[in-house]
Structures are given as structure tokens and as C-alpha cells.
Structure 1
């Protein structure tokens, strides 16, 4: 049992779970737009997420919230190096345009942890933290697969990109509430500025806007709409149950599992309604 706990902790802290979440959002885009992307793209996003997240999380050991992580840090570093190798290998099978777009989002990730100007990184710029994360997630999971497919940018693309940004913003809020006990006051995160209850209200408003935007699409399918509604309910429940003092894996496992559930629902409903 102890061995299983250790493996699970490594699975979470090495960013494997969040990588599956990001890949799942790519899957949502692939299903909704009926794309046929190469397998290299899946590996590129998966390994790129692991490399990027681990770089951001462990760039400064002193910034770790859980000191026990230092014991397994070397294993995570080795795993991250292997993941980076996977990123480089998969690059050779993707289009130049895709790599240029992905490079732009990679730079945002880099400057999220590395000082950009005046010894400040994007994470430490007041009010910018969650928007950078949301933009990177939305760009990687919507723009990158569509660019790789070579599709014409349409109105549905911009609506989906906007929806994905709002969804990621909503998914971040349980983490923001959890991190109230860790974030410095000067960071002025959403819960710090508006309190927990107003933050939850903001989250529900974002989810409502996502559903309303779905009605603006050219021909939204019934199965994707049902999957979206179920997912918005799950995110709403996650936001509602979020607490400053929450269980260790509430956000890092359960909340981050929602994209995986979303793509699973899309597969299920697509089969059921087709």
C-alpha cells in the first residue's frame, strides 16, 4: 500500500495527471472539429505539458509548498528530461506552422517562471497569473491541433478558443482558493481581492457564459452540447466545494480529472446520438 501511495504521489507531482488533462482537452477539440491529427501531436502535447509544468513548479526549490517533495525531486528531474527528449523527437513529425504557434505558448510558459523584466516573471505580475495559464492551455488545446490540421480559421474556432479560455479560468479557481494559505498578499489573486464567495460566483458566471457562447456556433451538435453541459455542472460543483483548507488531492487530482471526464463523455454521447 505504501508503494502505491508513493507511485500515486509521483504521478501527481511529476505532472503526469495534468498532462493527461491537457491531452484530453486536445481530444475534445479533435472530436468537436472532427480532426485527424498525427499521433506525434499527442506525444508533443503530453510530454510538453510535463516538461513545462515541472519547470514552472520546480524552477526554485525554495518555492515548494510541500518540503517532502524534495526527496523525490531528482526522480522528477530525470522524468522531465526524458519528457523533454520526447518533445524534441515528436517535433520532427509536426508542421513548421504548428511548431511556431507552440513555440509562442512555450515562451509564455518560460516567462511564467523566469523573470521577464525588473526581476519579475509573469506569475508575479498582479492579476496576470491565471490569464497566462488559461491562454496557454486554450492555445495548446485548441489552436495547435487546428493549425496542425491546416483548417481554415472560422468563427467557431474563435468561439471555441474563448470558451476554452473561460473553462480553464474556472478550473483554476479551486486552486486559487486552495493557495490562499500559500500566496503572498501582494500577488492579489482573485480570492485575495474579492474573497472566496465572490470568487465562486465569478466561476459560475464564467461557466454560464461558456454555455451561452455555445449557441453562437454554426451548427453545434447535440452530443457535444450534452457533454459540455455535464462538464460545466462538474466544474461548478468543484468550485462550490472548493475550500481554503481542502484535501491534498481535491484540486490536483479530482478537479484536474474533469477534462478527462469531458472527453470520455464526448466519446460516449457521440456514439449514443450517432
Structure 2
């Protein structure tokens, strides 16, 4: 077990797990909207997620402590560089219009980590989107929805139907829900100026809100033009699992509760799609 734990921690800390979650959501989109599988796109999404997340998480650490980096962080940096190169390789296999769309989200990711706005908008001297009070969860949800729904559609047929937009809204809501256990966990660390949802309305109300948003996520499935009993059952299952994770979230939960189990929901969703 002593040998397995460092590998598992690297799997989590290097963003491989979250990349699998984003990949899974993209694959689910392909299945639900009856789009042909596109492995260059899947691989791009996977490697770009690792690159983007590690850039956001470790930019500050690498900037100010590059001469005294811990060994594990150096390994993550090298791993991220390899993923960045693979991301570029697969990106050039996509359509030009898709690359332009990707560039927009690349800019958002860059601004999410890099200081660029006046000091008065930021928390704890960090002049980036990540630290604007109350904005973090919405930025992440928007990017995930754009990458896992709109990007596959744009790359394949560019037809943004009613069902596509409803799926995008659903994905936005689901990512917001998956972020709530993280925000509850981080209450003991986050500055009050971040104005996260649990900070503004409390843990109990956050859980109530999460269940209500989960109901909206489920109801939207019934508003689609193309109704499927299979998709309804799978959406109900994902809603129940997500809401349970929110209800049982707590400040005292281990980091693995959110970083592994909660982020496993999209992976479970894809597995259920493939099995049933």
C-alpha cells in the first residue's frame, strides 16, 4: 500500500483523474447526440485538460519557487509538458474552425491563472479570474460545458439544435453541482472574500440548492425533442448519485472524497452508457 499511495496521489495531483472525467463527459455527448466517435478530439480534450488544470494549479508555485520545487512537482511539470506537446499534436488534426473555438477557451484558462485586471477586483493580491469573488464555479462550469458539448458538435456538424443547447445547460448545471462538495470542503481554507456559494448561504442551504438544481438538471432531459427511456434513466441515476455526494459533503471529509469520488461521477456516467 505504501507504494500504491504515491502513485494514486500522482494520479490525482497530476489531473489525470479530472482529465478522464472531462473525456467521459465528451464521450457521453457523442453518444447522446449520435455523433461519430472522434479519437483525435477525445485525445485533445484529455491532454488539454491535464495541461490546463496543472497550469492553473501550479503556475504560482512554479513561478515563485522554481529553484526549490519538490520532487513530485518537478515530475508533474515534466508530465504536463509531455501532455502539452501531445495536446498540440492532436489539436492540429482538428478542423480550423474548431481550433479557433479552442483558442477562446485557451484564453479563458490563461486569464484564470495569470494576473491581468486591476487590484480592486481580486482577492489576496491574486489578479486573475480565479480569485474574483463568486466567479470561480461559473467559469469552470462554462468551460466544461463548452468543451464537452459545444466543441464536439462544432467539430462534427456545427448544428446547434434545441437538444444541443439543453445538453449544454445540463452540463453547466452538472459541473456546478460537482463543484459544491469541493467548495464545502475548502471552507476551512478559502478566504471569505472569495464569496463561494457555501460562504454566502451556508452549508445546509448549499445542499438544498444543490438538490433543487439537480431536479432542474433532470427535468431538462424531459424537454428535449428526442426523448429516450435509456437517457432518462441514466440522467436520473447521475442526478441521484450527484445529489447524494452533495448531501453527504462535509468540511471534515478527506480530499479524496471530492478529488476522486465526486470527480468519478462523469466516468461512472460513461460506463453506464457503454454497459446499457
TM-score (norm 2): 0.93
Does residue 3 of the first structure (1) align with residue 10 of the second (2)? no
- Is the contact between residue 163 and residue 226 of structure 2 (CA under 8 Å) also seen in structure 1? no
In the alignment, which residue of structure 1 is the partner of 2:75? 75
Equivalent of 1:191, from 179, 198, 201?
A: 198
- Runs of 5+ unmatched residues, structure 1: 64-68, 270-274
In the alignment, which residue of structure 1 is the partner of 2:258? 251
In the alignment, which residue of structure 2 is the partner of 1:14? 14
Does residue 217 of the first structure (1) align with residue 232 of the second (2)? no
Within a 5 Å distance, the mapping from 1:32-111 to structure 2 comes to 32-61=32-61, 70-111=70-111
- Is the contact between residue 37 and residue 149 of structure 1 (CA under 8 Å) also seen in structure 2? no
Does residue 171 of the first structure (1) align with residue 178 of the second (2)? yes
The Cα shift of 1:107 comes to 1.3
Matched residues in 2 for 1:115 and 1:154: separation? 37
The Cα shift of 1:62 comes to 8.9
Does residue 266 of the first structure (1) align with residue 273 of the second (2)? yes
In the alignment, which residue of structure 2 is the partner of 1:116? 116
The Cα shift of 1:116 comes to 2.8
* Stretches (4+) displaced over 3 A: none
Matched residues in 1 for 2:275 and 2:37: separation? 20
The Cα shift of 1:231 comes to 0.5
Matched residues in 2 for 1:198 and 1:208: separation? 15
The Cα shift of 1:48 comes to 0.1
- More divergent stretch after superposition (168-177 vs 114-123): 114-123
- Is the contact between residue 222 and residue 232 of structure 2 (CA under 8 Å) also seen in structure 1? no
Distance 1:207 1:92, change over 3 A: same
- More divergent stretch after superposition (190-199 vs 106-115): 106-115
The Cα shift of 1:197 comes to 0.5
DSSP 3-state at the match of 1:60: helix
In the alignment, which residue of structure 2 is the partner of 1:150? 157
Matched residues in 1 for 2:9 and 2:153: separation? 34
In the alignment, which residue of structure 2 is the partner of 1:239? 246
Q: What is the aligned residue count?
A: 264
DSSP 3-state at the match of 2:116: coil
The Cα shift of 1:104 comes to 1.0
Matched residues in 2 for 1:37 and 1:261: separation? 19
The Cα shift of 1:8 comes to 0.4
TM-score (norm 1): 0.93
- Is the contact between residue 112 and residue 128 of structure 2 (CA under 8 Å) also seen in structure 1? yes
- Is the contact between residue 37 and residue 145 of structure 1 (CA under 8 Å) also seen in structure 2? no
Q: CA offsets per residue over residues 81-103 of structure 1, 9 Å max, x none?
A: 00000111001210011111111
- Is the contact between residue 61 and residue 70 of structure 1 (CA under 8 Å) also seen in structure 2? no
